Structure 1
Amino acid sequence: MLQLDHIAVAGETLAEAVAHSEAALGIPLGPGGQHAYYATHNQLVGLADGLYFEAIAIDPSQPEPAHPRWFGLDRFKGPARLDKWILRCADIGAVLEVFPDLGEPVHLTRGDVSWTMIVPQDGMLPFDGLFPAIIQWHTDTPPGQALPATEVRLKTLRVETPDADALHDALAPVFADARVEMITATNPRLTAIFDTPQGERVLR
C-alpha cells in the first residue's frame, strides 16, 4: 500500500539544510518552491530509482501560519539533519483507516503540483518524529518522476529508535522495502547511505 517517495533534511534555515545536504550527497540541489499554507520553502534534487531528495525549512519571508507547521518544523532546533522520510500511497483515506490517529488529510498545491498529506494536529509525527509522513500525489508527474534523475542511489535508510520493534510492527501490514531498516537505538535519528559516483556517502 505504501512506497518510499522521498527523504528530507530539515534546517533552522533553508541555506543550512541545503549546505548539509550538498556536502553529504556530493551534488547540488536544484530549486524548489514555497508552501504558503505552512510558510515553509524547499529545494529538491532527483535521485535514482524514482526517488527524490528535499531540503526544507521555515520560510521567514512568509506570514506566520495560524496552525502548527508540518514536519515539526516549529520545534526544530540545532544543526541541519536528515529528519523525515515520506511514503506515498494511492488512497490516503485507506491509510487513515489503518492509522486513524495519525492526523488530518491536508490538501496542498505548489504551481501545477497537487498532493494530500496526513499531518498531525501539532505537526509532530509519532515515534519522536520518525514515523513516516504519508503523501498522496494528485498529478501525473510527481517530483520523483519529474525531476531529472542523478547517479545518487539510496542504498539504505536506517530508522534508529528505542521503539524500533513497535515501529516495524505498525508499518509491516502496509509497507515493506529492503532498503529501510528499523534499528533499536538509544538516540532517535535517521541515517541514509548512498551509492554515488564518488563512492559511498552517509547522511545523518
Structure 2
Amino acid sequence: MDRDSAGAVCGCHGARGQGCHPRTAHPIASPRVRGPAVRTLPARRSPWPHAGRDLHGPRAGHHLPHGGQARALGLGIPPGTSVPTLSLSLDHVVIFVEDLRRASEDYAALGFTVVPGGVHAGALTHNALIPFADGRYLELLALTVSWKRRALRMLARGGLEGILMRRSPLLGRAIRRIRSGEGLADFALACSPLAEVVGVGEIDGPVSGGRVRPDGQKLSWRLAFPRAPVLPFLIEDVTPRHLRVPGNVIHPNGAAGVQALTVATGSFDRAVAHYQTLLGREPFETVAPIPRSLGVEFRLNGVVIRLMAPIGPAHPLRASLARRGEGLYGVVLSADRAANLDPARTHGAQITLAHPRNSTS
C-alpha cells in the first residue's frame, strides 16, 4: 500500500483543510494491503520498530501482549477466567449531528438514501438511517430539542461524565461523544449472546433500549458498554432486526456496505489488547495508511477494523485525539467509485468511498 494514501483520509491532505479544497472529491486507493505487508502476528514477538517503547518514551523489556496475556490485560479479566465465545459482527456506525433534518438533506445530496428512524426511548434522541446491502448502516443521531442539548453540554463541561458513566453507561458515553461536536461518534457490534459477556471483565450492562419508528412500530434491544472508550458498544436485538434495519435500499452514489473502520488511539498496546480480548482473535500487521503511525488490522466478517496510533507530536491523529479522544476516526464504504466525501456535507465525519475489496473473515 502507498503509505501516503490514507484510507479514511485523502492522501493529498491527511487531514481536512491541508493542501486541497474540502469540497473536492479525490480518487483514492482502496485500503487493500497486498503480499507481505499483512501477516498474522506471531505470539510473544512485536514486529514494530517502535514496539520497545510506548508513544511517550522508551520502556525496556516491552513486548506486545498476545493470547491469554492480552485477554487478561484487555478487559481487566483475572487470570484463569473463562472468556465466552461470542458471535460478533459490525452492526452500525453512529454519526452525531446537531440538526437531524439538515444532516439528512446533506447526506441525500451526497447520493445516500436516508430513511427516517424515529425517536428513541426517553425521547432524548432521534435518528435517521443509511442502510446498506450488506445489512450494516450509518446512523445519523441527534438530540431531540435544543434545551436538552444545552443541558447535556453543561453536564459534560462540569466533568460529570464519569459519574454518569457509572450510573448510566449509555448516557455517560453519549455525553462524552456529544461534547466533541459533530462527526463520527461510535460504532456497535451485534453480539450474541449478550448476557454471556456482561460481567466478564470491564463491561457494563445490559441496558434496555428502544425506538418508535415513524409508522408507530416499537423496537427494542439490549446494549452493553465496555468501559474502555476505544472499544465499540454491543447490541442484541429483542424485536426482529429486520424491523430495526430497513432492507432493499439503493443509494444513487453506489454505496453498498461498510468495508473498513479506522480507530485512533494514544495507547497502542492497550488498545490492541482490548480488541484481542473482545474479538477473540489476533491482529494482522499492516502498513499504516497515514505515515508515522503504528497500525494493525482485525478482520471481522468482511470488515477491517484498523487500529492506528501516532508517532511523534506533529501528526494528524494528534488533533483528533485531543479533540475527540480515542475512538472511531474514519469509515470506508464499498462503492462503485472512489472518493473522499466532503466533511462539510458529512457533518465532520471522515467517510471514504472505495472500490470493493476481497472479503475478509
Specify the TM-score bucket, using the shorter chain as the normaliser.
Answer: 0.7 to 0.9
SS of 1:49's equivalent in the other structure is: coil
Corresponding residue for residue 241 of structure 2: 141
Distance verdict in 2 for CA 1:160–1:28, change over 3 Å: same
Alignment RMSD (CA, Å): 3.2
Corresponding residue for residue 92 of structure 1: 194
Where do 5+ consecutive residues of structure 1 fail to align? none
Corresponding residue for residue 26 of structure 1: 111
Distance verdict in 2 for CA 1:31–1:143, change over 3 Å: same
Where do 5+ consecutive residues of structure 2 fail to align? 1-85, 153-163, 212-216, 280-298, 311-317, 342-348, 351-361
Identity %, equivalent residues = 23
- Name the structure with the higher helix share: 2
- The superposition leaves residues 48-79 of structure 1 with CA deviations (integer Å, 9 ceiling, x where unpaired) of 32211101011118978998663733351455
Distance verdict in 2 for CA 1:98–1:78, change over 3 Å: closer
Q: 2:222 aligns with which of 107, 116, 122?
A: 116
Q: Which moved more, 1:165-174 or 1:40-49?
A: 165-174
Give 2:270's aligned amino acid.
A
Task: Give the structure-1-normalised TM-score.
Answer: 0.78
Give 2:93's aligned amino acid.
I
Distance verdict in 2 for CA 1:13–1:74, change over 3 Å: farther
Quote the Cα distance in structure 2 between the aligned partners of 1:70 and 1:142: 26
Quote the Cα distance in structure 2 between the aligned partners of 1:164 and 1:38: 37
Q: Do structure 1's residue 179 and structure 2's residue 304 form an aligned pair?
A: yes
- What's the offset of the Cα at 1:165? 2.8
The answer to whether the 8 A contact 2:113-2:249 is kept is no
Quote the Cα distance in structure 2 between the aligned partners of 1:37 and 1:163: 35
Task: Give the structure-2-normalised TM-score.
Answer: 0.47
Distance verdict in 2 for CA 1:139–1:62, change over 3 Å: farther
Quote the Cα distance in structure 1 between the aligned partners of 2:309 and 2:106: 25
- Name the structure with the higher strand share: 1
Corresponding residue for residue 145 of structure 2: 60
Distance verdict in 2 for CA 1:88–1:70, change over 3 Å: farther
The answer to whether the 8 A contact 1:39-1:59 is kept is yes
Highest Rg: 1 or 2? Answer: 2
- What's the offset of the Cα at 1:10? 0.6
Distance verdict in 2 for CA 1:20–1:184, change over 3 Å: farther
- What's the offset of the Cα at 1:22? 4.8
The answer to whether the 8 A contact 2:219-2:244 is kept is no
Quote the Cα distance in structure 2 between the aligned partners of 1:54 and 1:92: 21
